[in-house]
Amino acid sequence: MKSLPADNIYQRLCDLRNGTGKSQKEVADELNIQASVLSRIERGETKSVSHDLVIKFAEYYNVSTDYLLCISDVRIRRNVELEELGLTNKALFQLLQGKVNGSLLSKMLEHPYFPVLLDTANAYFTEAHNTGFASRNAIIDIGTANIKDFIKEHPEHRIEGRHDIRRLNAEKVTGTEADLEKIKSIFLSMLKDIKKEYDVPQQDISTEELKKQIVTMKKQAIFQKKKKPSFNENDMTRIVMGMFQSMGMDLDEYEQEMFHKMMVHMLQRKR
């Protein structure tokens, strides 16, 4: 038996059940346990619960056991079955092959506008809003017809009337066109938000840090001179390259060779 944490696991179970809109009896029946047992747990009157029951609750509510036991605040189970993601095999294959930037995809999925983007895209594909916009366009047609009748009766307002007709006709749009414009707007807004993270420049080392690196390099050079009388340009070059590597500035083989030649040449000229 596993003791319930002093935190409010009962409240978490209660919140999860309320989220389903089901009663205690409905959940208890589906879990094949007594409603009174579930009631006592949710009221915090149960001091212990079996491992089997914890796992049963976790599977039923699709959360981790750590979340139920208040070890973690993350509800979603990490090791979910691939079928539960609702993705096609082709989509999963793209992800597993590494053909998709997983980090960028995660940022897009996490964005609060992403569900709205998918809903709008679905409306665009199914032309769900065409009927509504057709009614709107019909109202606009009635309005332009009324203006035309007004112009016939009052020809002195012909110029203003035609201007109003052109303005109203410009407002006519199909549901598909409206959805497409909305998709563009949402997607661009998401990209701008995500780009803010990429616009943050990588922090360079401070002047103080650079001074420390130079002092360290000097101490290493002095140490090498005392330790090894044959200290030469090659040794100094290796110390400098080691300093660069400690600063995260990794050089490939070609760059190392070119840098080595340049440093040796410069040090030999200073003799």
Query: Going by DSSP bridges, is the β-strand pair 48-49/2-3 parallel, antiparallel, or unpaired?
Result: antiparallel
2-68 CATH, one of 3.40.50.460, 1.10.260.40, 3.30.360.10, 3.40.91.50: 1.10.260.40
Sequence ranges of the chain with CATH classification 1.10.260.40: 2-68
3-state DSSP helix/strand/coil percent for the chain, to nearest 5?
70, 0, 25
What DSSP letter does each residue of 201-213 carry, written as one string?
A: PPPPPPHHHHHHH
Q: Tell how far CA 261 is from the center of its chain.
A: 46
pLDDT tens, residue order, the chain (271 aa): 444 444 677 888 888 888 888 898 999 999 999 888 888 888 888 777 778 888 888 888 888 787 888 777 766 665 555 666 677 777 777 776 777 787 788 888 888 889 889 988 998 888 888 887 787 778 888 888 888 888 888 888 888 888 888 888 887 778 888 888 889 999 999 998 888 876 665 455 566 665 666 666 666 666 655 555 455 666 666 666 665 555 555 666 766 676 667 666 665 654 5
For residues 38 and 28, give the distance between their C-alpha atoms in angstroms, rounded to a whole number: 7
The beta-strand segments (E) located in 38-149 are: 48-49
Contact assessment for residue 168 and residue 150, using Cβ atoms and an 8 Å cutoff? no
Beta bridge partners of 2: 49
Neighbours of 7 (CB within 10 A): 11
- At residue 39's C-alpha, the angle toward residues 34 and 44, to 5°, is 130
Tokens 């103080």 belong to residue: 208
Question: What is the DSSP code (8-state) at residue 109?
Answer: H
Q: What's the rounded Cα separation, in Å, for the pair 88 and 255?
A: 45
- Cα distance between residue 38 and residue 53, in whole Å: 10
In our burial notation (b when 16+ CB lie closer than 10 A, e otherwise), range 17-44 reads beeeeeebeebbeebeeeeeebeebbee
